[in-house]
């Protein structure tokens, strides 16, 4: 798969209705991702001066983090020029958005305090080198992925949907921890989230569809609260961790 072309096309929706829906989904997802970033930074006692998002897409997460004042200096890099064009349209003073080759961020070692890789590793052919690159440019690395190595996500229809949106890696918690260890990253804080009603009901049309979405969200959250590790083997939750780079 030509990843640059794939994501340029994804961020260049010709259908206005599809583009609007995609934008709404990005904004909703960004709020949840930003909640996770803020929570993990707080738990680890990290107050970044400079934060970079590697694989920033259209910049929705950085826009949310800027609004929350998470760091005075923010930057985002993505391999899709179409995505960066959208990101620059957020008109965020002082926030740098640049296209990069998807492998090496064009900055010196430890330029940033925190590097965020949120819902990116599941899209790349080789996650380990990109994680190591994040550890090169920042003292702390925050990773978030969906944990899709489970029974529900293994169904053919779910695998087809994952492929449609570019997922080529399927993680569980142990796999993420192993990737961090391989990049000499020591996890200092972590969280998991089965996601709430707003996510499960997104795009649901009609009372019946919304009711089923509410039931799904409620059952999943209840199951996850009772037995989180068992729940992760059954359905997808989002997992995020904040790790400190050694050296």
Tens digit of each residue's pLDDT (9 = 90 or more) over 131-177: 999 999 999 999 999 999 999 999 999 999 998 989 999 999 999 99
Beta strands in 25-164, from DSSP E residues, in sequence order: 50-54, 73-78, 96-99, 112-118, 138-147
Handedness of CA 215, 219, 222, 228 (dihedral sign): negative
pLDDT of residue 133: 98
- Specify if 136 maps to a domain: yes
Give a yes or no: residue 209 inside a domain.
no
Question: How do residues 223-245 score in pLDDT, each as one tens digit?
Answer: 889 998 999 999 999 999 999 99
What is the domain range of residue 134? 3-194+237-245
229 occurs within a structural domain:
no
CATH of the domain at 61: 3.40.50.150
SS3 annotation, 218-237: HHHHHHHHHCHHHHHHHCCE
**pLDDT, the chain, mean:** 90
Which two three-digit tokens encode residue 208?
Answer: 């019946």
221 domain-assigned: no
Check whether 15 has a pLDDT greater than 60.
no
The pLDDT value given to residue 22: 63
201 in a structural domain? no
Does residue 210 sit within a domain?
A: no
Domain count for the chain, please give it.
1
Residue 211 has pLDDT above 50, yes or no: yes
Look at residue 103 and tell me whether its pLDDT is greater than 80.
Answer: yes
- Predicted confidence (pLDDT) at residue 25 exceeds the cutoff of 60: yes
In the chain the beta strands, taken as DSSP E runs, fall at: 50-54, 73-78, 96-99, 112-118, 138-147, 185-193, 237-245
Coil, strand, or helix at residue 10? Answer: helix
pLDDT score, position 207:
77
| 223 located within any domain | no
Higher confidence at residue 246 or residue 99?
A: 99
224 belongs to a structural domain: no
Of all residues in the chain, the percent with pLDDT exceeding 90 is: 70
Give the pLDDT score at 17.
Answer: 46
Phi, psi of 41 (to 5 degrees): -60, -40
The predicted pLDDT at position 11 comes to 77
Q: Give the mean pLDDT of 75-90.
A: 94
What was the pLDDT predicted at 20?
58
């Amino acid at each position: 798969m030509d990843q640059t072309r794939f994501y340029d096309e994804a961020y260049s929706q010709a259908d206005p209705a599809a583009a609007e829906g995609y934008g709404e989904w990005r904004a909703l997802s960004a709020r949840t991702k930003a909640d996770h970033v803020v929570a993990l930074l707080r738990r680890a006692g990290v107050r970044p001066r400079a934060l970079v998002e590697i694989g920033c897409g259209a910049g929705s997460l950085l826009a949310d983090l800027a609004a929350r004042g998470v760091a005075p200096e923010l930057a985002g890099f993505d391999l899709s020029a179409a995505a960066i064009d959208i990101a620059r349209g957020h008109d965020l003073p002082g926030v740098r958005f640049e296209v990069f080759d998807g492998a090496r961020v064009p900055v010196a070692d430890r330029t940033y305090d925190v590097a965020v890789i949120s819902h990116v590793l599941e899209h790349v052919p080789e996650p380990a080198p990109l994680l190591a690159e994040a550890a090169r440019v920042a003292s702390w690395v925050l990773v978030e992925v969906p944990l899709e190595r489970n029974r529900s996500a293994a169904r053919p229809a779910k695998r087809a949907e994952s492929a449609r949106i570019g997922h080529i890696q399927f993680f569980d918690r142990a796999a993420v921890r192993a990737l961090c260890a391989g990049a000499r990253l020591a996890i200092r804080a972590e969280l998991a989230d089965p996601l709430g009603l707003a996510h499960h009901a997104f795009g649901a049309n009609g009372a019946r569809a919304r009711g089923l979405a509410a039931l799904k969200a409620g059952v999943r959250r209840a199951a996850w609260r009772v037995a989180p590790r068992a729940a992760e083997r059954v359905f997808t939750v989002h997992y995020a961790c904040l790790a400190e780079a050694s050296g």
